[in-house]
Amino acid sequence: MRDILNYCLSREREYDCYSSYLILLFRCFSGLMMIPYGYGKIVDYDRYAADFFGDPLGIGDLPSLWLTIFAQVVCPVTLILGFQMRISAGILAFNMLVAVKYHFSDPFSIKALPMLFLGMYVILILWGAGRYSMDFCFYSSGGRRFLSRSERWSICCVAVAFVILCVLFANIVSGWIVAVLLIPVMVLFISSYYILRYE
């Protein structure tokens, strides 16, 4: 009963580890969801280079395309790692702000996705990278810089789960294999939570 009360009241010890864990999951999700859009622009580079959404920044089609590919491929990777996370999230938020501006007169169903991405990146800017990030390891002045054994195991479980999700999102496998691979993903996420919570 006391654990439930501590969880509901967000007591400091639980809040610190658990909130950083949630920020880690949200960073990974936000980054992984953007990478396919950047990859698609690399694959269809010639088509986008000819006319990139009417030159949305006024700097030319190619520079706009290069900046967008950088924002949608490199920034999500640094976002996942938690390296210069607020800068990466700011670049991605600006990228989505341009997309919302471009689709401003379109129906809501078309501009909803860039608006959702924009909201996710603004939330990440406000939250920061959290404890489980490269920023914390490099720039933290106070408190414990190194992670405990259970925190390292928890982060490893999350990393393996997201690698499996990348395989699933890339459509490398299909059919019943997807259902089978979702089981270890769920087990890894649940395990990472319990390893972290009950250290």
Q: Identify the pLDDT of residue 74.
A: 94
pTM of the model: 0.75
Q: Identify the pLDDT of residue 56.
A: 66
DSSP-assigned states of every residue in 22-84: HHHHHHHHHHHHHHHHHHHHHHTHHHHHH-STT-TTSS-HHHHHHHHHIIIIIHHHHHHHTSS
Contact at 8 Å (CB) between 72 and 34?
A: yes
* C-alpha distances in Å from residue 87, one per residue of 13, 128, 154: 28, 10, 26
Q: Identify the pLDDT of residue 4.
A: 59
**Ranges under pLDDT 70 in the chain:** 1-15, 52, 54-57, 140-146, 170, 198-199
Closest by Cα among 178, 158, 180 to 170: 178
Dihedral, CA of residue 22, residue 23, residue 28 and residue 30, to nearest 10? 110
Q: Identify the pLDDT of residue 175.
A: 76
Q: Identify the pLDDT of residue 117.
A: 92
Domain locations in the chain as residue ranges: 18-144, 147-199
Distance separating alpha carbons of residues 28 and 44, to the nearest angstrom: 25
The 10s digit of each residue's pLDDT in 146-185 is: 677 777 788 888 888 888 887 777 677 777 787 788 888 8
Q: Identify the pLDDT of residue 174.
A: 74
